[in-house]
Structure 1
Amino acid sequence: MKTACAGWLIVLAALVVQPVMAQTCSSTLVKTTGSERFRSQKDGSIYDLQTGLLWSACSYGQTWKSGVCSGSPVAVDLTGALLAVTDLTLAGYQGWRVPNINELQSLVEWSCVGPAADLAYFPDIRNNHYLSSSARDVDGAPVIQVLDFYSGRVRDALYDTSYLLLVRDMR
């Protein structure tokens, strides 16, 4: 009897598991990012011609190797993120920081979801929350804002940790 129940549980679990979703982009919406805006530095960094910011192509915890992001991203809280950027050298540069929510949202490719990013420049961006240095007041207490890269929407941080893209000023 236990074996039959375990078998049904496995079948039920297989039916409930969601398939892995790939990025979907609309052919009727104007692309908001791309080659007119970004330049790959070929060293794991992306220069944004519009804002003058330099971005890490990979999420924090990953390394750029032979044109791809390798390893797994590491989710951090804001304190961990601020400590991580101290004295960090990436792509030959120092001065990396946690982006504010406006900077982070400027990366959103509004014609795509799952993730809402230009994968030609940010090849391993996750369908997940990315940390910002911005906060808003909720009932007298600061709440950190995150960007949900699945849809490009700003959210209040509901989790202790989030992924992180690093940025630095170039102008």
Structure 2
Amino acid sequence: MSEGKKMTSSRRHHLKSLILQIAATWLEQEATETAAAKEAHLAENCPAPNLSGDQASLVDICKKLSQAIDKIDEDRYDAEAKVNKSDKEIAELKLKVVELAGVKKPALKKVRMSADTMLQALLGGKHKVTMDLRSNLKQVKKEVKEEGNEAVGDWRKNIEDKADRKKMFETS
């Protein structure tokens, strides 16, 4: 076994399977508990209606049921309004957290745009601004060196010139 691992892979898999089995039993227990709580709540708040009797008693039962439905709808609407309000507050708080943490600058994309189009985009379509940046540059003339051209020229001329120089030194 290496220094980083302190248990074998078979042991790790065995423990993982045990944890999953325990979690599965907990989920089953939770499901049975919620079903039992639901049954208890329905038995407490919604007793079985007594349908025996004449038409007047049935109409009275229907009125009571419609009133109960209206009350439940009001409660549902209130709960939904509270949830929406808290969702808005959560969104506002998230924005505040982002503001406090500092807004990260997104990576900028390269845009090929000339100076004229950039100024037109900034100032709007009304303003006609032309900015020729190249007109402000200095004009530089290239000077051609004559010495380089002579060396490239005809080799016989160079020899004749040197021969003339040699004669000058000999005569003096």
Task: State the TM-score, normalized to the length of structure 2.
Answer: 0.20
More strand per residue: 1 or 2?
A: 1
Larger RCO, structure (CA 8 Å, separation 6 or more): 1
More helix per residue: 1 or 2?
A: 2
Greater Rg, structure 1 or structure 2?
2
Task: State the TM-score, normalized to the length of structure 1.
Answer: 0.20
